[in-house]
Amino acid sequence: MKLFHDSASFFLHLLLLAGLFVRSSSRPVNTSLCSVFASVIPHLEKLLNSSKKLHDVSEEEVAVLSTMEHRLDTLPQIEHTASHFGSMKVNESLSQLYVDTQSFKHHVDWLKTAKHNHSLPSQSAEGTSTHLLHISNLIKTSLKQVSAEVPELVAPSLPVVPTAFDVLRISVELSERLRVFGNWSKRLLKSFQRQSRCPRH
């Protein structure tokens, strides 16, 4: 009887340990956030593609225009150093991503108006604005899911763009800054996917 009791206790301990192992095995920390990460990344890829079309100039011309004085000091400054990347936290990063996305959308809408005022094609700006809106809405949803406060935004006051050449310069600068923003945001969200042990599709 004692042998049976000892064996039963041994197997009971094994079952408890197995249960603990299953509970601590790789599972998504927050399945709703995983869903948001998976939804935002494709929109960032579309944003990167559409932002390339904000201007219609060659790579050589882009290189020349990029050396000129930058005018958009109201755009977000993207911190993309290794030390900054390693210190990022999900809630804070999503809040900042929301603010940055809204800021870029405000600037792209401003560019769209400037293109329209100078009788320049504005479809690329409209498409880019739409992708930014989708990203912004998804991030806003994710902030609510983690009970984080959605930041209040104050849109900067932007001037009238005086000439078609100024529109071109702004198009190139905005395109380049969106590329940095899109690539950085993709890298950040993929890092959070790994940290959250989100399932791979």
CATH number for the domain that contains residue 99: 1.20.1250.10
Number of domains in the chain: 1
Q: Are 201 and 38 in contact (CB under 8 A)?
A: yes
Q: Report the percent of the chain where pLDDT is more than 90.
A: 40
pLDDT of residue 142: 87
Residue 201 has pLDDT above 80, yes or no: no
Whole-Å CA distances, 43 to 74, 90, 141, 175 = 24, 19, 15, 16
Domain that holds residue 82: 30-195
Which pTM value belongs to this model? 0.79
At 140, is the pLDDT very low, low, confident or very high (cuts 50, 70, 90)? very high
Asked whether residue 9 is assigned to any structural domain, the reply reads: no
CA distance 115 to 159: 14
E strands present in 88-132 = none
At 118, is the pLDDT very low, low, confident or very high (cuts 50, 70, 90)? very high
Residue 96 has pLDDT above 80, yes or no: yes
Asked whether residue 23 is assigned to any structural domain, the reply reads: no
Closest of 146, 114, 110 to residue 129, by C-alpha: 110
At 14, is the pLDDT very low, low, confident or very high (cuts 50, 70, 90)? very low
Q: Which residue has the higher pLDDT, 178 or 4?
A: 178
Closest of 188, 12, 22 to residue 93, by C-alpha: 188
Asked whether residue 10 is assigned to any structural domain, the reply reads: no
Asked whether residue 2 is assigned to any structural domain, the reply reads: no
Asked whether residue 41 is assigned to any structural domain, the reply reads: yes
Determine the Cα angle at 183 with ends 69 and 110, to 5°.
50
* Mean per-residue pLDDT, 36-48: 92
CA distance 64 to 66: 5
